[in-house]
Amino acid sequence: MSATPGRRAGLLLFAAALALVLLVFRDYGVTWDEHFHDTYGKAVLRHFETGFSDRGALTYFNLWLYGAAFDATTALAKRLLPFAPYDTQHLMIALAGLAGAAAAMRMGMLLAGTRAGLLSALVLLALPSWWGHMFVNPKDIPFAAAMAWALYWSMRAVKEAPDARAATFVWLGLSLGVSMGIRIAGAYALVFPAFAFGWDRLRALKSGGLAETLRGFGRALLPYAGAAAIAYATMLVFWPWALRDPLHRPFEAIAVFAASPWDIRVLFEGALASSMDLPRDYLLVYLAVKLPLGVLAALAVATGFAVRALARTGLFAARGEALLLAFAIFLPLATFPVLRPITYDGIRHFLFVLPPLAVAAALGIDAALDAAAGATRTIRTAFAALLVGAFLAHLAQMAALHPYQYAFYNALAGGTGGASGRFETDYWGSAYREAANALDAFVAKEGGQRPYTVFVCAEGSSAAPFLTPPLRLAEDDVSADFYLSTTRLGCDREYDGRTIVEVGRDGAVFAVVKDRRALAPSERGHRAVTGALVAPRHPGLRKDGTRDPALE
């Protein structure tokens, strides 16, 4: 069967995106959490390969509280693919990001056709917060992609009601299970099928009355219960710790996370706040300054068209799948000021909101294009030129930030340079790769032969893969020849030295390297800086940055 033009266009879009991924995935640094996920994924594989006798995955750091749907799959890919381990990890995260974009495309097509679907995928991939995280975030991007598919299949269930296909619920269950098999917070995605079921029953109540609604309640609930069973089983397959007590441990994990006091200092609007007591407008402000201005404008247009449509038709005449999309966007934004969940690292924990936001923005652009179709040819040409010009300018801005797109800020924050010192930029040490490479080049140019030691702020695991002899990680801070540091929370001011490397983009400095060899012993000590990062080492690392299996 020949492909439709829309299908061909979609395949072409994703082929181009995949080609770009393959071109750049080895450019990205190793973020501070990646060692955890690398070690955990391998431990889970060992657990299954040894017939459950290797119990390392059941106690490793705090990751036993998480499923390994992504980590274990990536650990297997590292055995099969010919790339360096962390490069393979970045490629796998990027593929998960593309899967999330595919879900966005399907949502857009479901709501408004081929053009809206293509625009949905394009908008999501062009979001710097998505594209930048798409190579370095082994938890939140796979999680957000699975959540996007759970949302899509819930929308399909709404659209197909009351006779939704069994396959729809199977796929719904699998996507829910993968999201919970990455982190138990994926249980949040259950609100999507809950909305779908509730909307179906409300429509039945309006058309058939209470008695008819009650009679059909069990029949309508059954496929959702089946999807929930598939989801639970899928989650357990990827979660060794929970698999040992499947009726209790998933709920125990939820309780542990709910009671965990992650008190982390968060930079917000130029001041430090506690992650446990963030301002009520934290999420809205961060989204306002992190989303491109064109996307904000498209969201405003989409909102205007949606409000007008609701005013004309009324709530019950509205399409349930469109209401579900709005619900998926509105619920986190509405509940954050009330619940104020523990959050840090900008919008990292809310990346799952980006796919539905991208779809909504695409619907706004699609509606604007429809409205412009009735205008004069001159207006249509000018509008098309405006869209294309704005998009190309945005892509140029993303290219200038490469490979730190997740540090993007729009003009409301003064760009990335203007946001520096007021909001989080490179909060995950992604710039350590470039800084370490620059230090390698500096030492090679000097021609030095004796071993040099490097003390690293926060995470030696992010720099160690890129330090080559005669450089190695320092055993202590005082004797270190060089200091490699992020600028986050003033960590670069913790130790003195001559700055020889600065890594940054758009006027913002993300990381520095200081030469400490000329300092007197009295000048080498630690200087406490308010708000500075603690400098722990991950479990599983020796002092020189290599892995110690005994510690894993």
Do the Cβ atoms of 110 and 159 come closer than 8 Å?
Answer: yes
Looking at 34-43, 250-259, 540-549, which range is the least confident one?
A: 540-549
**Residue 2: is its pLDDT beyond 70?**
no
Mean pLDDT for all residues in the chain: 91
| CA dist., res. 4 & res. 12, Å (int) | 12
Q: Dump the DSSP string for 126-182.
A: T-HHHHHHTTT-TTHHHHHHHHHHHHHHHHHHHHHTTS--HHHHHHHHHHHHHHHTT
Report how many helices (DSSP H) and strands (DSSP E) the chain contains, helices first: 19, 7
Is residue 523 within 8 Å of residue 496, measured between CB atoms?
Answer: yes
Q: Closest Cα to residue 486, out of 458, 508, 507?
A: 458
- Domain segments of the chain: what residues? 5-401, 432-551
Q: Is 232 helix (H, G, I), strand (E, B) or coil?
A: helix
Residue 266 has pLDDT above 60, yes or no: yes
Residue 391's identity, in one-letter code, is F
Q: How far is CA 217 from CA 167, 249, 511, in A?
A: 20, 30, 58
Span between the terminal Cα atoms of the chain, in Å: 52
**Residue whose pair of structure tokens reads 């894993």 in the numeric block:** 552
Q: How many CA atoms lie within 13 A of 259 on its CB side?
A: 6
The pLDDT of residue 67 is 96
- Return d(Cα 73, Cα 40) in angstroms, integer: 11
Q: For residue 219, count CB atoms less than 10 angstroms from its CB and return exposed for 0-12, middle for 13-18, buried for 19 or more.
A: exposed
Q: Please say if the pLDDT value at position 213 is more than 80.
A: no
Q: Is pLDDT above 80 for 215?
A: no
Q: What percent of the chain has pLDDT over 90?
A: 79
505 or 548, which is more confident?
505
The pLDDT of residue 531 is 60
Average pLDDT over residues 388-400: 96
Question: Which of 263-272, 495-504, 508-517 comes out lowest in average pLDDT?
Answer: 263-272
Across the range 442-457, mean pLDDT stands at: 90
- Beta-bridge partner residues of 509: 504
Rounded-to-integer distance, Cα 125 and Cα 104, Å:
10
pLDDT tens profile 75-114: 999 999 999 999 999 999 999 999 999 999 999 999 999 9
- 548 has pLDDT over 50: no
> Looking at the predicted structure, is the pLDDT value of residue 545 above 70?
no
Q: Once rounded to an integer, what is the mean pLDDT over residues 53-61?
A: 94
Pairing of the two strands 271-274 and 265-268: antiparallel
In this prediction, residue 543 carries a pLDDT of 36
Distance CA 405, CA 290 (A): 11
